Chain A
């Protein structure tokens, strides 16, 4: 009985449903096609997002500080605007959010209750801010694509989040994880210069940080200032 009811209900719904005479498979409107676009990879305006990652090069500025190369790294996501001046020169601004994780091999910032050994320790900064750059393109004659280029620019970031994390095993052999946020010894702003060598979507990027991460009276040894990494331009097709 119940099955019959559902069967009749479905039939009823099908019969009462509006039945379209047609289903549009393709619709192309050519009325606006005479307008010359100004937005594109090699047009007057362009905007795209990007993903990046880089490592820090060198040692900290002090006798004890060494970062664990390969584990200390940053990742970045941003949006970039490009204004084309001509086929060689363009410039623009970008805004990005970046997470930097410094993992020291022998740092000793952690405050431990007894003589325990630190298992893991890292300093994480999350920053956001603008960059401004000048682009020189090496392919003078090219169509609507990015091409090969060199970017030179500056950046300034606000460290809106800072966190020191470490863990150790206590006397009962339990793993204890300690997190400290809003670190008072971290400078609020970063700034530096950057350079990028691009091959269409793929970019090798390097930067040098002029500002210090740590406040002058903190007694902390400054982390490496050079970084080198890769970036992937996300260009909508």
Chain B
């Protein structure tokens, strides 16, 4: 050690002095990289807007159906002088948002300082989001005919929602326009699963927001799989319910541009609104790249605000809950699934129809009920070529988007709020709710005169010296005398009906459950659901 003079202690001191003064550290600003930010403007004074010229007739029809003013300032264009002013100071700009009266800007910190000083700039917000497609890497390509197990799965995709009630009564989503936001749709232009959609001219418009072009039939096949679960048909057998719906396909996601998805998602949302979308399916969630679980309150992200605005405009937004359910650090739903107005969909395992372990759970950070509903998270879907089995909440969400389209076709006078509420009311667990399954799986037969809709009590509470027993009715089991392998849902609520704990149990005996009063505080209650019937015991 002669050749170099070095003191580790000196280095340590230097390092930690640096840390202590870190908050005030000033970098060489010229060397700082260009940032991508949103620049929000103060007003839209003096702009001209003609809704009849701007909107697709379907968008006008939807607004009128929802009793909305066609001259909503939110839809007015951003002032061109403001855009020019920012463009002169910035490196470049790209996405312009009418809804948020904002523009996406690339600029150095010094440039941003000058932009912020403009009198018509309200605020600047960094853009740092990465969307995670809520699909999981558990795909098995099916090159040959479907095995009996997979045929069963394909049938269950429809039957677990009792979807056959829709198409047997002639409802296939016709007249309903569905926008799908995803990472690409390769094969949709030639795959046999979409032949009926192509022949019917049901793909109304496409837009690749990443590459700024119309062709979306390339890149990641996640969108192809998702679309097949909304309206795909394999050899006259349905993969999804809305085979007659119209489609708007938007590519909003890319893996190469690290923090870009938010602006594309937002831009696609405004495009879908303008093009008359009734339903938007987004199988994407924004989570840990930008946020912490405690921020999943439906307020923190710009996409959450965009989803709220879409709902105000009469669009039903269906979004995957996310695949972070088994994550030690996340676990809860992402955004925009955290927005009250978004129909958030969790994933169920096949064949149990119980929450898949990856499916993100509620509640939201501010304690709201999420997810709203659940559907099968494992499904037979279209890949680039042929069919494949995939899983993830990505695939639960489109199944319910297709359901919503059929329901809306049946009740065309309904608003998005009515469709949202009706789907929840029709669900298997309703009025029971838990943070894994929401209200359960929406049931199409609920909207028809099906004798199976009337539920009778399926169990009783019986007070005994050992506790309160939940006794299953043999007669209520629809002809089956053995309750084995049926699931009983129960939860503990406080006096304000806040859920403290919830359970799903597999029932093996008629005497399904014993609730020990010693485990409950006065005012608490046990809410129990079994086979369509919900009852409460107050302690």
B501→A143 contact, CB < 8 A: no
- Once the chains are docked, how many angstroms separate the CA of A42 from the CA of B488? 39
Question: What residue of chain A has the Cβ atom nearest to residue B4's Cβ?
Answer: A210
> How far, in Å, is A129 (CB) from chain B's closest CB?
12
- Once the chains are docked, how many angstroms separate the CA of A88 from the CA of B25? 10
Question: What residue of chain A has the Cβ atom nearest to residue B469's Cβ?
Answer: A21
Asked, given contacts A85-B22, A139-B128, A237-B326, whether A27 binds B503 with beta carbons under 8 Å apart, the answer is yes
A22→B327 contact, CB < 8 A: no
| Number of residues from A at the complex interface, CB < 8 A | 45
Which of A41, A86, A134 has a CB less than 8 Å from the CB of B15? Answer: A134
Asked, given contacts A25-B487, A28-B361, whether A143 binds B292 with beta carbons under 8 Å apart, the answer is yes
Asked, given contacts A143-B290, A144-B288, A210-B4, whether A25 binds B11 with beta carbons under 8 Å apart, the answer is no
Asked, given contacts A141-B126, A142-B128, whether A26 binds B4 with beta carbons under 8 Å apart, the answer is no
B328→A237 contact, CB < 8 A: yes
B139-180 with Cβ < 8 A to chain A: none
> How far, in Å, is A5 (CB) from chain B's closest CB?
29
- Once the chains are docked, how many angstroms separate the CA of A89 from the CA of B16? 10
Which of B291, B293, B501, B507 has a CB less than 8 Å from the CB of A22? Answer: B507
Asked, given contacts A154-B12, A211-B1, A212-B1, whether A26 binds B507 with beta carbons under 8 Å apart, the answer is no
Residues of B within 8 A of A118 (CB): none
Which one, B48-56, B198-206, B422-430, B508-516, is touching chain A? B508-516
Interface presence of B519 (CB below 8 A): no
Which one, A29-37, A119-127, A161-169, is touching chain B? A29-37
Interface presence of A24 (CB below 8 A): yes
- Once the chains are docked, how many angstroms separate the CA of A24 from the CA of B508? 11
Question: What residue of chain A has the Cβ atom nearest to residue B500's Cβ?
Answer: A31
- Once the chains are docked, how many angstroms separate the CA of A154 from the CA of B11? 8
Interface presence of B318 (CB below 8 A): no
Question: What residue of chain A has the Cβ atom nearest to residue B259's Cβ?
Answer: A139
Residues of A within 8 A of B514 (CB): 21
> How far, in Å, is B365 (CB) from chain A's closest CB?
10
- Once the chains are docked, how many angstroms separate the CA of A171 from the CA of B32? 67
Q: What string of 1s and 0s marks CB contacts (under 8 Å) between A176-211 and chain B?
A: 000000000000000101000000000000000011
Asked, given contacts A22-B506, A25-B506, A31-B500, whether A86 binds B12 with beta carbons under 8 Å apart, the answer is no
Which of B6, B18, B435, B499 has a CB less than 8 Å from the CB of A210? Answer: B6
> How far, in Å, is B257 (CB) from chain A's closest CB?
15
- Once the chains are docked, how many angstroms separate the CA of A31 from the CA of B508? 28
Interface presence of B354 (CB below 8 A): yes
Interface presence of A236 (CB below 8 A): yes
Interface presence of A20 (CB below 8 A): yes
Question: What residue of chain A has the Cβ atom nearest to residue B435's Cβ?
Answer: A28
Residues of A within 8 A of B288 (CB): 41, 143-145
- Once the chains are docked, how many angstroms separate the CA of A236 from the CA of B326? 11
B508→A23 contact, CB < 8 A: yes
B508→A22 contact, CB < 8 A: yes
Interface presence of B289 (CB below 8 A): yes
Interface presence of A15 (CB below 8 A): no
- Once the chains are docked, how many angstroms separate the CA of A126 from the CA of B295? 46
Interface presence of A230 (CB below 8 A): no
Residues of B within 8 A of A191 (CB): 8
B511→A21 contact, CB < 8 A: yes
> How far, in Å, is B338 (CB) from chain A's closest CB?
13
B292→A41 contact, CB < 8 A: no
Interface presence of B118 (CB below 8 A): no
Question: What residue of chain B has the Cβ atom nearest to residue A83's Cβ?
Answer: B19
Question: What residue of chain B has the Cβ atom nearest to residue A34's Cβ?
Answer: B367
Residues of B within 8 A of A65 (CB): none
- Once the chains are docked, how many angstroms separate the CA of A22 from the CA of B506? 5
Residues of B within 8 A of A22 (CB): 488, 505-509, 512-513
> How far, in Å, is A136 (CB) from chain B's closest CB?
8
Which of B23, B499, B504, B509 has a CB less than 8 Å from the CB of A26? Answer: B504
Given contacts A22-B512, A142-B128, A212-B1, 5 further A-B contacts (CB under 8 A): A22-B507, A25-B354, A28-B501, A36-B294, A132-B12
Query: 23 A–B contact pairs at CB < 8 A?
Result: A21-B508, A22-B507, A23-B505, A23-B506, A24-B503, A26-B503, A30-B363, A30-B502, A31-B500, A41-B329, A85-B19, A85-B22, A86-B22, A88-B22, A89-B22, A134-B19, A143-B287, A143-B289, A144-B292, A144-B293, A154-B12, A156-B8, A193-B11
Shortest beta-carbon contacts, A-B, top 6 = A89-B22, A22-B505, A26-B504, A143-B291, A134-B15, A23-B506
